[in-house]
Amino acid sequence: MHIRDREFMRLKGGAMNAKQYLLQSIRIRESLFYIKQRIEKLETDLGYHPKQLDDSGASKASGANDKVGDTLAEIADLEREWLAKRMELEKKNEEIRTFIEKLDNPTYRAVLSYRYIHENPRFPTRLNSWVTVAFKVGLANEDTARITHNRALRILEKNM
C-alpha cells in the first residue's frame, strides 16, 4: 500500500473510500515507472562496459571491487522487482474492474475504467485527463466526464 493511502486510511479511521481504492492502480504504475527509470540509469552508467555474465549470472570480470558485476546484479534485481510489480498491477486492475462492474450504468463504468485502469500513454504515472476520458466514452466535454465520475463514485461509496 502506498504511503499516501496509509495516511488517508489513518485519518479516515482505517476505511478507504472508493476513489482511494481506485487510485491504487496509479500508485503501482508510479512504482513501475521509477523502477524502470532506475534500470535505464544503471544501464546508461555501464556505458561501454560489455554485459558479459557467466552461467551464474555474475560478471566475468574479476576483482573484489567489481562495479560492473554489482551494477549488473542490481539491474537483475530491479528487473525481477519490475516483473513482480507488473504482476501486482495486473491483479489490482482486475480487482478494480470487478469493483467497477458493480455499477449498473455502462457510462459510469466506462468513465471509471478510462480514468483509473487504462494507462495514459504519454504520462504513465498520471491518470488520463478528463478530456481524454470524455472523448473515449463519447461524452460532450470534460465537465460532463467529471460529473459522471463523481456520481459513479457516490454510488460505489454507498455500496462499500
Tell me: pLDDT of 44 over 60: yes
Nearest 5°: phi and psi at 124?
Answer: -65, -15
The strand ranges marked E within 53-148 are: none
DSSP code, position 142: H
pLDDT confidence of residue 117: 95
Looking at the 3D structure of the chain, how many domains does it have? 1
User: Which pTM was predicted?
Assistant: 0.75
Residue 94 sits in which domain range? 3-159
pLDDT confidence of residue 47: 76
Cell of 118: 487504462
3-state secondary structure of 66: coil
3-state secondary structure of 36: helix
Residue 73 to residue 39: CA distance in whole angstroms: 11
Residue 156 to residue 14: CA distance in whole angstroms: 18
Helices 24-46 & 3-11 angle (0-180, nearest 10):
150
Share of the chain above pLDDT 70, in %: 80
Average pLDDT over residues 135-151: 97
Query: pLDDT band at residue 160, thresholds of 50, 70 and 90?
Result: confident
Is-contact 17 157, C-beta < 8 A?
yes
Query: pLDDT band at residue 15, thresholds of 50, 70 and 90?
Result: confident
pLDDT (tens digit, 9 = 90+) per residue, 59-107?
555 554 578 889 999 999 999 999 999 999 999 999 999 999 999 999 9
Residue 92 region by backbone torsions, left for phi larger than 0, else alpha for psi between -120 and 50, else beta: alpha
